[in-house]
């Protein structure tokens, strides 16, 4: 993917998946605005990109507010003269069950993930439309947002909302030739290393050991670098016809998620549906097609 002359903002790119995305975009020729809340982490990310031959600057700001979003866009334009690509990656976790989750736990995650994606995309869209040359907006979803996960009310709401916004923005920005897509990555990061069934594989990676095919394929789990190629692809001219999609990536697994759709439909005969009528039809017609919740993962080979 040749991104020479392109300028990209990658939020939350000081480490983990965000740094992997920024590294791959820089390797493909794009100039990068690195973003993190920690100045030392942001500066180290810039150093790693430039030492590898890339071009990068850091903008230290907490994603969420309109002011932070505008600061990122302004930095891109001031440093590099334009903006072409936005990757909305910044995120935090405040995991706990519903009955223990505080207002602050909920608001913090929604502010960074959902509001941050909204404010950054709005600021970028305004700039891209002014330039009149199209653009690429890549947002980050999660399997949790697609199917739910125990203890992640706030995160599930934010990630589901992001994919919903992506579908809307894809329509709104199509005329300006700005594509908007979501990626659904699974990788070894600080966010996944506490997941019990993934811990053996996280430990293996930390020890420098290769992951078994079961982890890389059936679980779709790998390194942050395994997910970076999808971002470079969606940022490129090769993906000009792709918009409004949610694409999964992880390990050796690449997948296209479906949009929600009706799986069973029945009609009443001009009278509407009473509670008794629904109770009568549900067991045989609807119950067999009830949807699962949470990720339905295969058992690891013994």
The mean predicted confidence, pLDDT, of the chain is 96
- Is 300 domain-assigned? no
Which residue in 13, 155, 201, 236 is the catalytic one?
A: 155
How far apart CA 142 and CA 153 sit, in angstroms, is 13
Counting the structural domains of the chain, the total is: 2
End-to-end CA distance of the chain: 40
The pLDDT tens digits for 235-274 are 999 999 999 999 999 999 999 999 999 999 999 999 999 9
How far apart CA 6 and CA 32 sit, in angstroms, is 9
Contact present, 49 and 22 (Cβ < 8 Å): yes
Instruction: State the pLDDT confidence band at 40, using cuts at 50, 70 and 90.
Output: very high
- Is 301 domain-assigned? no
- The pLDDT of residue 203 is 87
Same domain, 103 and 133: yes
Tell whether the model's pLDDT for residue 302 goes beyond 80. no
Tell whether the model's pLDDT for residue 9 goes beyond 90. yes
Same domain, 21 and 161: yes
Active site residue 159: yes
Q: 135 forms bridges with which residues in the sheet? A: 178
The pLDDT tens digits for 214-230 are 999 999 999 999 999 99
Instruction: State the pLDDT confidence band at 300, using cuts at 50, 70 and 90.
Output: confident
Same domain, 161 and 48: yes
Same domain, 53 and 107: yes
- Is 67 domain-assigned? yes
Q: What radius of gyration, in Å, describes the C-alpha atoms of the chain? A: 21
Same domain, 229 and 287: no
Q: Which residues, including other chains, have CB under 8 Å from residue 51's CB and lie 6 or more apart?
A: none
Instruction: Answer with the residue of higher pLDDT: 189 or 58.
Output: 58
Same domain, 217 and 281: no
The pLDDT tens digits for 155-208 are 999 999 999 999 999 999 999 999 999 999 999 887 777 777 788 898 899 899
Same domain, 32 and 86: yes
Task: Give the ranges where 3-142 is alpha helix by DSSP (H).
Answer: 16-27, 39-51, 66-80, 103-109, 116-131
- The pLDDT of residue 189 is 83
- The pLDDT of residue 199 is 83
Its domain, for residue 275, covers: 264-292
Instruction: State the pLDDT confidence band at 119, using cuts at 50, 70 and 90.
Output: very high
The residue-averaged pLDDT of 32-57 equals: 98
SS3 assignment, position 248: strand
| The model's pTM | 0.95
Same domain, 241 and 271: no
Same domain, 216 and 279: no
The residue-averaged pLDDT of 103-120 equals: 98
**211 backbone φψ class: left, alpha, beta (φ>0; ψ -120 to 50):** beta
- Is 130 domain-assigned? yes
Same domain, 197 and 284: no
- The pLDDT of residue 230 is 98
- The pLDDT of residue 197 is 78
How far apart CA 28 and CA 191 sit, in angstroms, is 27
Which residue in 13, 142, 201, 236 is the catalytic one?
A: 142
- Is 297 domain-assigned? no
- Is 2 domain-assigned? no
Contact present, 162 and 182 (Cβ < 8 Å): yes
Which residue in 13, 159, 201, 236 is the catalytic one?
A: 159
Instruction: Answer with the residue of higher pLDDT: 201 or 299.
Output: 201
Closest CA to 125 of 70, 190, 80, 63: 70
Q: Which residues of 242-261 are buried (b: 16+ CB within 10 A; e: fewer)?
A: bbbbbbbbbbebeeebeeee
């Amino acid at each position: 993917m040749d991104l020479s002359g392109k300028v990209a903002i990658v939020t939350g790119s000081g480490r983990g998946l965000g740094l992997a995305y920024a590294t791959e975009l820089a390797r493909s020729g794009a100039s990068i605005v690195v973003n993190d809340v920690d100045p030392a982490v942001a500066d180290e990310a810039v150093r790693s990109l430039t030492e590898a031959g890339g071009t990068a600057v850091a903008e230290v700001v907490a994603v969420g507010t309109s002011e932070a979003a505008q600061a990122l866009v302004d930095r891109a334009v001031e440093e590099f003269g334009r903006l072409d690509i936005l990757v909305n990656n910044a995120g935090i976790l405040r995991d706990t069950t519903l009955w223990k989750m505080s207002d602050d736990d909920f608001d913090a995650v929604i502010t960074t993930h959902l509001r941050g994606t909204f404010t950054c995309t709005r600021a970028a869209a305004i700039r891209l439309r002014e330039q009149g040359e199209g653009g690429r907006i890549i947002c980050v979803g999660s399997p949790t947002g697609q199917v739910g996960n125990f203890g992640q009310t706030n995160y599930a709401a934010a990630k589901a909302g992001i994919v919903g916004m992506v579908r809307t923005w894809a329509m709104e920005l199509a005329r300006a030739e700005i594509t908007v897509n979501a990626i659904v990555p699974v990788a070894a990061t600080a966010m996944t290393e506490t997941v019990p069934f993934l811990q053996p594989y996280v430990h293996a990676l930390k020890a420098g050991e290769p992951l078994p095919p079961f982890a890389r394929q059936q679980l779709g789990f790998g390194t942050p670098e395994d997910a970076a190629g999808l971002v470079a692809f969606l940022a490129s001219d090769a993906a000009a016809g792709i918009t409004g999609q949610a694409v999964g990536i992880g390990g050796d697994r690449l997948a296209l998620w479906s949009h929600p759709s009706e799986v069973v439909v029945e009609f009443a005969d001009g009278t509407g549906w009473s509670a008794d009528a629904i109770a009568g039809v549900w067991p045989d017609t609807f119950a067999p097609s009830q949807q699962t919740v949470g990720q339905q993962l295969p058992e690891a080979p013994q």
